[in-house]
Amino acid sequence: MGSVEHAVSETEQHGPAKGITRWLYTTNHKDIGTLYLLFSLLMFFVGGCMALTIRAELFQPGLQLIVPEFFNQMTTMHGLIMVFGAVMPAFVGLANWMIPMMVGAPDMALPRMNNWSFWILPFAFSMMLSTLFMAGGGPNFGWTFYAPLSTTYAPPSVTFFIFAVHMMGISSIMGAINVIATILNMRAPGMKLMDMPLFVWTWLITAFLLIAVMPVLAGVVTMMLMDIHFDTSFFNAAGGGDPVLFQHVFWFFGHPEVYIMILPAFGVVSEIIPTFARKRLFGYVSMVYATSSIAILSFIVWAHHMFTVGMPLAGELFFMFTTMLIAVPTGVKVFNWIATMFRGSMTFETPMLFALAFVVLFTIGGFSGLMLAIAPADFQYHDTYFVVAHFHYVLVPGSIFSIMAAAYYWLPKWTGHMYNETMGKLHFWLSFIGVNVTFFPMHFLGLAGMPRRIPDYALQFSDFNMVATFGAFLFGFSQLIFVYNLVCCIRSGEKATARVWEGSHGLEWTLPSPPPYHSFTEPPELDKNNTGQS
Amino acid sequence: MSQQQQPNRTLIIRLIAGAVLMFGFGFLLVPLYDVFCQVTGLNGKVLNTGPVQDVNADPQRRVRVQFIAVNNESMPWRFRPEQSQLTVYPGQMKQTAFIAMNPTSSTMIGQAVPSVAPSEAAEFLHKVNCFCFEQQPLDAGEQRAMPLVFVIDAALPEHIKTVTLSYTLFDITPDTGPVAAVTEEPERRNL
Amino acid sequence: MRCNRRALLYAGFFYAPLASADWQLNLIEGATEISRSVYSLHMVIFYICVAIAVVVFGVMFWSIFWHRKSRGAKAAHFHESTWIEILWTIIPVAILVSMAVPASTTLIQMYDKNNAELDIQITGYQWKWRYQYLDQDIDFFSNLTTPADQISNEAIKGDNYLLEVDRPMVIPAGKKVRFLITSNDVIHSWWVPALAVKKDAVPGFINEAWTLVDQPGIYRGQCAELCGKDHGFMPIVVEVKSAEDYQLWLQQQGALKLAQQQSAERDWSVEELMSRGEEVYKQSCLACHQAEGQGIPNVFPALAGSPLMNETVDEHIDVVLNGRSGTAMQAFAEQLSASDLAAVITYERGAWGNQGGAVSVQQIKEMLKE
């Protein structure tokens, strides 16, 4: 008896293995979460360097630094790396760290698969980045890779790009399965779905979106592969195919993908604002319904990316109306956040600052999205810098700011140390100014008629391009403050308490900081204060 | 732990099945899109070879039918419509032709792909006989008038007064020499 | 010296944007009824968004200012309110409906393509546009004319930098013009902001658009869909002329065609062919094969020192006339006149150390089998 008990407690209490094997073989949700987050940080800088290359070339009219072929490779890779390498893995990393702790589970439901889904990513991205050094260069057809530019007219490296996308897809699908299994099967006894924190809710919905659309992306790249190598004609008009079909299938994936990148951000912000407003989240139930309806609507709006492709009038009208409809649940979310702040007792630590900037700037991105939804006006905006401004407003101060907010919010929990608040605030303000100086002028550029994805431009666009480039470098370099702050926080810093924040709520704050290697070995007691509705 | 694993397993199987289904659905979108195009006439992908309905013929009405010939990419054939436009009444069967000439020194095969504008007119344009139904081989220097017989359906909506029928000619000659050249000399690949 | 000149030019570029400072903030109203209704639609939505923003952000900043802990604010306890949640679902729906009505009206207007007086077929090529006037035997390509040294910052940029072409599309004012848009290779998009027309050019398929410009003028635009390397270098210029000027232009086109035929009849000296050939090369070949015929390794083949340029004449002519299947090499038989073809081939066979020897206009005409 005694020896059995001893063995059990040893397996449960063991710490991490030593050295590199800890990271290679780990099945621990915290280790894998850390790997995901660090990987996405690395990719954020790789993609960021590409963005700065683009902005440097666009600093002035004329070709100064790079040739148009390379410029196209940079825009393509920047998009692919930021979407699939930076934003998505960062959210999976947050899910890995936080979901088991938030639902009162010891670990993720499928730890071994968890390890696999992370370790696919470095290989996928090495393969993708290696295409830049291949004959004919890397992918140069934009992150939307429209056929036939990406099939008949693509550089030979397109095959490697396709396999890289397949690998990322498999990784995402496995990650999503894991999240769903954890949330549905591993919740602490007594925790109903409607007790879950909103971050868990938004991730559950995101995971279902991932399972629904990542296979469609895999399908579309497989069709490309067959068109390129096996003489099929999915997208080749000569053999009875249709290049426009590519766009339909791609955006059937692509639009839900946009929400995959923003729904977890909604979740993060819905955790942070109540904490620092010291007031319960307003309208929890309507938040859940709003998130679900955004997810469902995302399947019937895809062709608003294709208003200029030549659809029948009825199609244009249908997609215009459904797209406008998305503004309703999105509006509900914004109103709920503001109602949460209203008559709260607010303080403005770094995570709160990022969350507030998220609310304001994401809403601005939402407004430009609403303008883009109006089909006749979209004929003027489509494929201009107005679109670039729009999606950078929802992705940079949207998704990326929410990831930053989440990092500052949970860093004390993860590391057991407080980060440097002054440095955090400096990082926030420089990022905030940088983002707006970069992307706000792009609205003007687009309205004045500057198309996307051009390496050189007419003289009337010079002024705002110069401003945008200054902003981009400010934003880019201020991220180094974050890295420095992060390193300092991991190595030393003031000891963090278990609750960390005065207004914190939820199960993750009942664990010590840093939490034990296995989060909840005993199912936690639930009370009013540590469920999502607290 | 084993209690935990059972629900996990069924859930995983369901989710993986879901993912596989969606992968299949991606491919299913191809025929679905074709059906959608057939119904709406989107992109002019209508293969109307149906019977001729002279019953509803309306000799009073006039519809202008324009013909356009487009060469794709490096297709070197000279390709043009015999008549650039015709005026017909709905229900009237008309014959015209597109003229193709192969100026190169080798036999080539072309495939014409039709497209109709406005797209809502596509389902009312019946092609009784069309050179686009088949691949068209032309010997070096050969010229040929390729026939097209069509009828405009009397059900064509009133507001449509002009129908444009375009053919894009693609070179589908099986690659023999040039392909070998491409693999030997990668710089021949285009961007 | 050269270095100094460059430095001076660079200094000039820094200043140039300020000199021509535009700081254009908004959409242009444009030159057509449609573009004006798009503009007013744009402004209406914009003002609605601004109004919503003022209310929403107003409440937010009110809370940030008054309900902060440092001012001693105590948190209230409310966390839901059914009626207010219903209210802020219904009000946005009502606003959206009020936006959808004018938007649909404008869209329906845009889709009315009937009764056009002129049909122009627009074909996108990598990286130029071709305009064919149906029923009028007018057919020409429109190429970028901005000199390469302006793009590479060796010369001061002109006013219409990257927005200038050799032969603009010419249309009459006050007449409805219908565009039939298609593509020769990849997907392009034909966009002129002042006309509020943007339509994709899809290979194998034909798209329709139309415009009716009331005032003569010159309107510029660009390709709006990524179409490869020189996507940023395929501008669109539309010249709208009064009815009389348009008639005059039509006559000129006839004369131009005649002159072209005559130039193919007369004898060309090798020097003439070489100098004309250089111009044609810059216009039609330089984008891919580069200024010194060096090409781009692994992408576009070099012409300097190529066996094709030095030996096999017939094959060289064949490639230029008929293109090379499966590559980006286009067929130029329809793009250039016989004399221009002879000129450019002669140039390619004589420039950059090539020793292929000249070809005659006669040879080209035989190959064209005219």
pLDDT digits (tens, 9 = 90+) for A156-182: 999 999 999 999 999 999 999 999 999
Strand partners, B79: B100
| C33-110 CATH choice from 2.40.50, 1.10.520, 1.10.287, 1.10.3470 | 1.10.287
pLDDT of B183 higher than 50: no
Contact A430, A478 (CB under 8 A): yes
Widest CA span in chain C: 96
Are A185 and B111 inside 8 Å of each other by CB?
Answer: no
* Model pLDDT for residues C26-39, shown as the tens digit of each residue: 888 889 999 999 99
- pLDDT at position C269, please? 84
Instruction: Map tokens 């979460």 to a residue.
Output: A33
Options A107, A227, A271, A349, the catalytic residue: A107
Residues 6+ away with beta carbon under 8 Å from C262: none
Strand partners, C188: C201
Instruction: Map tokens 């509020």 to a residue.
Output: C196
- pLDDT at position A529, please? 57
Domain C118-259: CATH superfamily, name plus number: Cupredoxins -  blue copper proteins (2.60.40.420)
pLDDT of B54 higher than 70: no
The DSSP-derived string for C48-75 is: HHHHHHHHHHHHHHHHHHHSBGGGT---
Is C266-368 CATH 1.10.760.10? yes
How close, in Å, is residue B21 to chain A by CA atoms? Answer: 8
Residues on chain B touching A219 (C-beta within 8 angstroms): 22-27, 29
Strand partners, C61: none
Contact A151, A200 (CB under 8 A): no
Which of C33, C202, C219, C286 best probes binding to A when mutated, by most A CB atoms within 10 angstroms? C202
Range in A108-117, B15-24, B53-62, C195-204 with the lowest mean pLDDT: B53-62
Provide the pLDDT confidence category of residue B187 given band limits of 50, 70 and 90. Answer: very low
Residue C231 in contact with partner chain A when CB distance is under 8 A: yes
Are A142 and C226 inside 8 Å of each other by CB?
Answer: yes
DSSP-H helix ranges across C224-312:
243-265, 270-284, 286-289, 307-310
Cα separation, B24 vs B30, whole angstroms? 10
Cα separation, A9 vs A360, whole angstroms? 49
- Same topology between domain C33-110 and domain C266-368: no
Cα separation, A411 vs A428, whole angstroms? 16
Are A242 and B33 inside 8 Å of each other by CB?
Answer: yes
Minimum Cα–Cα distance from A387: chain C residue: C224
* Structure-token pair, residue A422: 């002054």
A20-530, CATH topology level: Cytochrome C Oxidase; Chain A (1.20.210)
User: Where are the domains positioned within chain C?
Assistant: 33-110, 118-259, 266-368
- pLDDT at position A533, please? 58
Minimum Cα–Cα distance from A139: chain C residue: C228
Cα separation, A303 vs A191, whole angstroms? 39
Q: Quick one: which H or E segment has residue A327? A: helix A327-341
Cα separation, A248 vs A302, whole angstroms? 7
Minimum Cα–Cα distance from A462: chain C residue: C17
pLDDT of A225 higher than 90: yes
Residue A478 annotated among the catalytic residues of the structure = no
Minimum Cα–Cα distance from C323: chain B residue: B74
How close, in Å, is residue A213 to chain C by CA atoms? Answer: 25
Are B74 and C298 inside 8 Å of each other by CB?
Answer: no
Options A29, A55, A279, A304, the catalytic residue: A304
Q: Give the angle A506-A328-A293 at the CA atoms, nearest 5°.
A: 60
Options A23, A143, A146, A517, the catalytic residue: A143
Q: Which of residues 70-99 of C touch A (CB under 8 A)?
A: 70, 73-81, 84-85, 88-89, 92-93, 96, 99
Widest CA span in chain B: 82
3-state SS assignment for residue B147: strand
| Side chain identity, residue C107 | L
Residue A279 annotated among the catalytic residues of the structure = no
Task: Output the CA–CA distances (angstroms, integers) from residue C32 to A60, B148, C110, C135, in the order listed.
Answer: 32, 38, 11, 25
* Model pLDDT for residues B130-140, shown as the tens digit of each residue: 887 888 888 88
- pLDDT at position B43, please? 58
Provide the pLDDT confidence category of residue A307 given band limits of 50, 70 and 90. Answer: very high
Using only C-alpha atoms, chain B has a radius of gyration, in whole angstroms, of: 24
- pLDDT at position B182, please? 35
Contact B116, B122 (CB under 8 A): yes
Q: Give the angle A519-A405-A305 at the CA atoms, nearest 5°.
A: 110
* Model pLDDT for residues B65-79, shown as the tens digit of each residue: 889 888 887 788 888
Residue A304 annotated among the catalytic residues of the structure = yes
Instruction: Map tokens 């007064």 to a residue.
Output: B161
Rounded to 5 degrees, φ, ψ at B154 are -65, -15
Tell which wins on pLDDT, A384 or B149.
A384
Residues 6+ away with beta carbon under 8 Å from C205: A237, A242, A243, A244, A310, B43, B44, B115, B168, C182
Contact A220, B23 (CB under 8 A): no
Are B161 and C114 inside 8 Å of each other by CB?
Answer: yes
pLDDT of C262 higher than 90: no
Residue A171 annotated among the catalytic residues of the structure = yes
Q: How many CB pairs under 8 A join B and C?
A: 130
Residue C210: alpha-carbon gap to chain centroid:
17
Minimum Cα–Cα distance from A135: chain C residue: C298
Cα separation, A466 vs C22, whole angstroms? 13
Residue A34 annotated among the catalytic residues of the structure = no
Residue A233 annotated among the catalytic residues of the structure = no
pLDDT of A145 higher than 60: yes
Average pLDDT, chain C: 86
Tell which wins on pLDDT, C150 or B179.
C150
